[in-house]
Every structure is written in structure tokens, then in C-alpha cells.
Amino acid sequence: AQSVAQPEDQVNVAEGNPLTVKCTYSVSGNPYLFWYVQYPNRGLQFLLKYITGDNLVKGSYGFEAEFNKSQTSFHLKKPSALVSDSALYFCAVRSGDSNYQLIWGAGTKLIIKP
């Protein structure tokens, strides 16, 4: 069965420090991976996706994610955190050989402290 795990419910980072939000997945076939961010009382905003090719994907707002096939991971990273990055982050995956339904992680709350 396909699944996505975000092992941390919450991540706390000091402003200016690097941040990592973890995501691991399990799919049959090639994975297509996505990161979204949700600010309070808002819909989800697309950050970046991995389809194929370069394992390091760059996205919006200075975020990037690294695809690691051997570890089945797709961690979200940013070199220097901003207080405004505080939000809820979701990882999602599709398999290339299924009905294309997105499978979502439970979300990770990111708190950036000044």
C-alpha cells in the first residue's frame, strides 16, 4: 500500500538557523513527490515537486527538497529560517503506475522562534 510518513508533528527552529522537515514514502513504481504549505485559515500552497532528474529540487520562498531513492525520503529544507515560515507543511506522493490519487502525510507544524 502507498503511504507517506511525516515523523515529526512539530519542528522548532530558531530564526536564521537551517530547517529540515522530514518525509518518507512508500509506493510501487516511480514516486512523484510534492510539498505544500498551509498558513492559518488558508488553503494549501504548492512549494515544489519531484518528478524525475536532479535529486535536489528548488521551490518557492527559498525552500528546496532532496529526493533520496535508497532511503525513500524527500526532506524539505531551507538554509536560513524566517519567522514567516511558521506554518503547517504537508508532504504528498503519487505513484506513476496507479490511479494518480495523491497520498498525504499528516502534516508537520513548523515553528520559527525569533
Binding site for another protein (CB under 8 A): 30, 32, 34, 36, 41-46, 49, 51, 90, 94-96, 98-102, 104, 106-107
Alpha-carbon gap, residue 70 to 12, rounded angstroms:
27
**Shortest distance, position 3 Cβ to another protein, whole Å:** 13
Query: Is 49 buried (19+), middle (13-18) or exposed (0-12) by CB count in 10 A?
Result: middle
Instruction: Give the cell for residue 75.
Output: 526532506
**Shortest distance, position 113 Cβ to another protein, whole Å:** 23
**Residue in 89, 77, 92, 88 with CA at minimum distance from that of residue 25:** 92
- Strands 10-14 vs 108-113: parallel, antiparallel or unpaired: parallel
**Shortest distance, position 107 Cβ to another protein, whole Å:** 6
Say which amino acid occupies 112. I
**Shortest distance, position 37 Cβ to another protein, whole Å:** 11
CB of 14 or CB of 111, closer to another protein: 111
CB of 20 or CB of 32, closer to another protein: 32
Alpha-carbon gap, residue 73 to 61, rounded angstroms:
21
CB of 14 or CB of 51, closer to another protein: 51
CB of 25 or CB of 90, closer to another protein: 90
